[in-house]
């Protein structure tokens, strides 16, 4: 169910009220003229996600740092963290999912120590006495040489993990925290590496609100970093509207008038026919619990990204609802394109 630009604006404004609207422009009554293909090439960068009629964007170049040399203390130790992400476009609205590995009973990004020796040698080869910190204003330092070395280490680490060649166009920039973790953002949309190398898809709701995946903690440094930078949270339309991210849900079936979660014994298989529950109030509907209904076999639960609208309106025409039973929140979705197994 694709949207036109006007339909999308109405849908987001009416139903996703918690999403901030930026750079809102009042439209006149004239019909919006969509750009030609040539205009799109000129106006839209490669990190924008396209479908036939709506343009989405994520991590524009001005959001992330690209200057590894700026005020860098080369006598410190730094961790290089590969922050793999992809854009899932199989639902009514697209959503971001990050890809993490399980290490020492915690979900984290692939990480290794940045080799500082080559950077020091670049500085020394320019005939300077090496200081603790140098900035871009230092004369005689070749920015390209420093940036190239940084990209080489990213490339080597990427290949070491994936056994694939690194495409520099997938590198969007980096962010750094106070613990000297350098998070390098790499777009692997369309790449099956994460699936076939036992990486786990993690959606934004799990990072920001739940802090766990299958009851296993996400690394606190990662959570803190995402909470610090709001622009990481949402896809945006080309006009600057935030697209609300989905919530994690656990699909339910009904057994003896009680809801039970469905287990998946084969991670490679997708549930082709999700169970429809005949609810006494909401009729035939797909139901998801916002949390596991049992503490046993949590790792076998099937997780879903669920688009649930942020509204309290008593609107009988909504294609999704939220309700609470036994102090547990449930999501009810009427359409298949409102949820996706993650």
**Chain-centroid distance, C-alpha 108:** 14
Residue 305 forms beta bridges with which residues? 248, 340
Domains in the chain: boundaries: 1-245, 246-341
Q: Where are the beta strands (DSSP E) in 132-243?
A: 133-134, 171-176, 181-187, 200-203, 212-213, 216-217, 235-237, 242-243
Predicted TM-score of the model (pTM) = 0.79
Tens place of pLDDT per residue across the chain (342 aa): 445 556 655 655 555 444 433 333 333 333 334 445 554 444 444 455 554 557 889 997 668 988 887 667 888 999 999 999 999 999 999 999 999 999 999 999 999 999 999 988 887 776 554 444 444 444 444 568 888 999 999 999 999 999 999 999 999 999 999 999 999 999 999 888 777 678 999 999 999 999 999 999 999 999 999 999 999 999 998 888 899 999 999 999 998 889 999 888 665 556 668 899 988 888 899 999 999 998 888 988 989 999 998 655 455 567 899 999 989 999 999 999 999 999
Residue 183 contacts residue 176 (beta carbons within 8 Å): yes
Coil, helix or strand for 170? helix
């Amino acid at each position: 169910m694709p949207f036109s630009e006007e339909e999308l604006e109405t849908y987001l404004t009416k139903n996703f009220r918690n999403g901030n609207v930026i750079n809102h422009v009042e439209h006149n009554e004239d019909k919006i003229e969509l750009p030609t293909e040539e205009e799109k090439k000129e106006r839209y960068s490669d990190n924008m996600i396209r479908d036939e009629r709506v343009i989405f964007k994520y991590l524009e170049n001005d959001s992330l740092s690209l200057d590894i040399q700026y005020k860098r203390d080369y006598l410190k130790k730094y961790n290089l963290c590969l922050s793999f992400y992809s854009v899932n476009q199989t639902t009514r609205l697209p959503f971001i999912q990050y890809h993490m590995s399980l290490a020492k009973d915690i979900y984290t990004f692939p990480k290794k120590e940045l080799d500082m020796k080559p950077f020091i040698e670049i500085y020394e080869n320019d005939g300077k006495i090496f200081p603790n910190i140098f900035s871009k204003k230092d004369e005689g330092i070749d920015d390209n040489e420093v940036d190239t070395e940084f990209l080489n280490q990213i490339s080597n680490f990427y290949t070491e993990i994936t056994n694939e060649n690194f495409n520099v166009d997938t590198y969007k920039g980096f962010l750094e925290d106070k613990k000297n973790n350098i998070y390098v953002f790499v777009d692997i949309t369309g790449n099956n590496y994460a699936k076939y190398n036992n990486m786990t898809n993690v959606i934004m709701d799990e990072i920001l609100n739940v802090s766990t995946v299958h009851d296993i903690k996400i690394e606190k440094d990662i959570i803190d970093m995402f909470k610090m930078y709001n622009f990481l949270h949402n896809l945006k339309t080309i006009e600057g509207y935030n697209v609300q991210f989905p919530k994690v849900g656990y699909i339910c079936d009904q057994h003896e008038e009680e809801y039970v979660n469905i287990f998946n014994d084969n991670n490679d298989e997708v549930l082709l026919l999700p169970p429809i529950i005949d609810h006494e109030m909401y009729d035939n509907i797909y139901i998801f619990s916002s949390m596991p209904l049992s503490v046993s076999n949590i790792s076998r639960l099937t997780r879903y990204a669920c688009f649930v609208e942020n509204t309290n309106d008593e609107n009988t025409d909504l294609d999704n609802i939220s309700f609470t039973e036994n102090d547990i929140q449930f999501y009810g979705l009427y359409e298949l394109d409102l949820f996706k197994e993650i």
